Copies of this chain bind each other. A is one copy, B any other.
Amino acid sequence: MKPFADLSRFINPRNVAVVGASARESSQGRRLYDNLVLHSSVPGEIYAVNPAYQEIGGRPCWPSISALPEAEIDVALIMINAALVLDTLRQCVARGIPYAVVMTSGFSEAGEEGRRLEREIAELCEATGLHVYGPNCPGFVNVRDRLGMTFSPAFKDDLNAGSIGLATQGGGLGRNLLQGLSFGQGVGLWFSAGNEVDLEIPDFIAHMANDPKISVIALLMEGVKNGRRLTAALELARAGNKPVVVLKVGRSEAGVRAAQSHTASVAGTAAVNSAVFRQFGAIEVDDLDQLLAVSRLLTRITPKSGKGLCIYTFSGGTAALAADIAGAADLPMAAFSPATKAALRERLPDFASINNPVDTTADILRNPAASADCLRAICADPSVGTVLFPIPMDYGVITDGMAQAIATVAAETETLIVPVWMSRRLGGGFQLLESAGLLPFLSLSDAIAALAKAVPWQRCAGQPTATAPHAEAAGGGARMLSEAAAKQLLREAGLPIPQGTVVTSAAQAAVAAERLGFPVVMKVVSAQIAHKTEAGGVRLGIASAGAAREAYAAIHEAVARHNPDAVIDGILVERMLPPGGREVLVGVHSDAAFGLVLTFGLGGIFVETIRDVAHRMIPLSRDDARALLREIRYAEVLDGVRGQAPADLAALEDLILKVSDYAWNHRDTLQEIELNPVWVGAEGQGAMPLDALIGLRADADSASERRPS
């Protein structure tokens, strides 16, 4: 894996060159140059480069990078015709300039010639160590140090600095996010590297994970170019206790189509992406509003905020609605201590509701001091981690007083107070909450959705993943092994496999069945028969030697009728497992971005109709395996419904870990595994695959087929 780039000189350059700086008003080259000269604080020199000018706005201009005076230049900003970019980059290398930002379009997004240019840039980077940011990008903005290496006309207006670090791929939505953070907590750094020929989102995450001025990392991704670097960067962020919030475009088919026409990256399967984000502790959100809301909220999170939620308001309807939405979001509500209840009872009218949710009634609006006291008592309750305070309307001075009470208490407590200014009138009360840094929400639903995403992070922050780096994606098709061969490999890998043997005559079948003990199952072994049941190649519940003999003949006959050309290698005779087990699916497949991914789900209709599955990148830790079993929607089936005994979860975990280890050890040759169904008995009865398929990569050599190293 390519190491992460050191971006310190890129983030805070001393001297920069602007290649394509222009004197022409409202040209992109002019806006880029002006953003640096007029609107940025660059500590050193800004060198204009353009053969068409001798000076721009009274400052000197040079014909090329090579012609620049002697100086240590940190970053070259490039806004020239795509065909000229490569030569300029070579000049950068010659001059020892470590970073270049290529904003120009016309590369891989534009067709074959552009893709070729991009490959040459990538080769140049690899050969020389030059770092290229772009091409086809809006540039880089260091908001906190007021540095705009961008041609955007909005740069000078969107300078609300803060501790949120932002990495995007396209420019438009990044600007949208910047404008969304133009009040309250703002953005520290905004990376948006377009086609990502060299520097990629993982480089930016890795930098921000170690940047002490960044507290939350917000990502907007259209595709994942390199899953391995992404997960490694996410691990750095988790180790640095920096929450990562991610919005991934391309979750519906229409979105994938649009994302692919917009960028050149791999869209990835939505479910696998989501599973990987979850596995590596990133918080996935559903839309832009939520990306902003969750990121902003996380900048305020405290160690106590993981405790229970209190809803506190002065309108009964609002209390009910908030409780409703919080209930639907499964947010755990705090139970007040007797002391808290007594403090509220003392200060609130009889008809107020002093249980959580608290409805003080509107009486309290006349008495901001009592309001502050009640809020103080609630914040002091050890079971209360977060107070959600919806303010349904703007009553002018009355709600101003309420806002002041909130700000006063918020400054005193470790409990997170989350005000929601629900009115479209953003009067004095709202302004007061903003000035106090309380980042008031404007929507009750948004606030609760953001809490539901942010609070669990607080609970598991800083926990390192046990997961190791993953396998690279395999290319090419697969060569399938027979059930018997697959089971033999898995048995050697330590998986429990039903006892069985392959027989080639009716007499052998009877002997084998006697030895295994009745009842047995018999199944055809043939490379030409993929769907054994449909071909009549499976007989269940065979209870005597005679029945085994009959079944041997019957399977041969049925399969021959189904496919006269099928070569039958034998019949697999297996001990049948006791009835009443649950059936699940365990599989492994190769994802283009993330490599080998394990899938778990309940069997039968749960897989086929409900598609209730969960995923993890391999290799899995035991914690991963345990979490996987709970992540499916109907996990309760494993616990036992309708008086059924709980399933043998320990055995199922073991089996999943062994599959994961097997796949990991054979990652160079493995394409896919499907164990479907896996039989899971009641506690103590174990778990084992009833059917097994293994597909090897078509390019794996045959020596590794039976004994992958």
Contacts and interface: CB of A to CB of B under 8 A. Distances in A.
- Copies of this polypeptide in the complex: 2
Interface stretch (A90-98, A120-128, A281-289): A281-289
Contacts of A170: 315-318, 320
B424 A182 contact: yes
A255 interface: yes
A515 interface: no
A401 interface: no
Contacts of A182: 424-425
Nearest to A393: B175
A110 interface: yes
A511 interface: no
A469 interface: no
Contact of A154 (B262, B393, B443): B393
Contact of A255 (B288, B324, B446): B324
B320 A259 contact: yes
Interface in A299-343: 313-321, 323-328, 333
Interface in A149-169: 153-154, 157, 168-169
A608 interface: yes
Given A258-B320, A317-B169, A325-B287, A153 B396 contact: yes
B183 A424 contact: yes
Contacts of A174: 317
Interface string A237-261: 0000000000101111111111101
A27 to B, nearest CB: 11
Contact of A317 (B168, B317, B395, B445): B168
A139 to B, nearest CB: 14
A288 to B, nearest CB: 6
Contacts of A324: 249-252, 254-256, 258-259
A171 interface: yes
Contact of A109 (B157, B247, B250, B351): B351
A32 to B, nearest CB: 15
A667 to B, nearest CB: 32
A258 B183 CA distance: 34
A394 B252 CA distance: 28
A384 to B, nearest CB: 15
Contacts of A443: 287-289
Contact of A287 (B315, B445, B605, B610): B445
A497 B319 CA distance: 50
Contacts of A176: 318, 392-393, 422-423
Chain A interface size band reads 35 or more
Contact of A641 (B175, B357, B605): B605
B351 A105 contact: yes
Interface string A249-280: 11111111111011100000000000000000
A4 interface: no
Contacts of A110: 351
Nearest to A175: B393
A179 B289 CA distance: 21
Nearest to A114: B351
A173 B251 contact: no
B254 A179 contact: no
A323 B257 contact: yes
Contacts of A634: 609-610
Given A287-B445, A641-B605, A320 B255 contact: yes
A359 interface: yes
A353 interface: yes
Interface of A: 105, 109-110, 153-154, 157, 168-176, 179-180, 182-183, 220, 222, 247, 249-259, 261-263, 286-290, 313-321, 323-328, 333, 351, 353, 357, 359, 362, 392-396, 398, 422-425, 443-446, 605, 608-610, 634, 636-637, 641-642
Given A172-B315, A254-B323, A288-B422, 4 more contacts: A170-B320, A257-B323, A258-B316, A259-B324
27 contacts: A109-B351, A154-B395, A157-B425, A168-B317, A172-B316, A173-B321, A176-B422, A180-B423, A180-B424, A251-B324, A253-B327, A254-B333, A255-B321, A258-B324, A258-B353, A258-B357, A259-B320, A261-B353, A287-B321, A287-B443, A288-B422, A288-B444, A289-B444, A605-B637, A608-B642, A609-B634, A610-B634
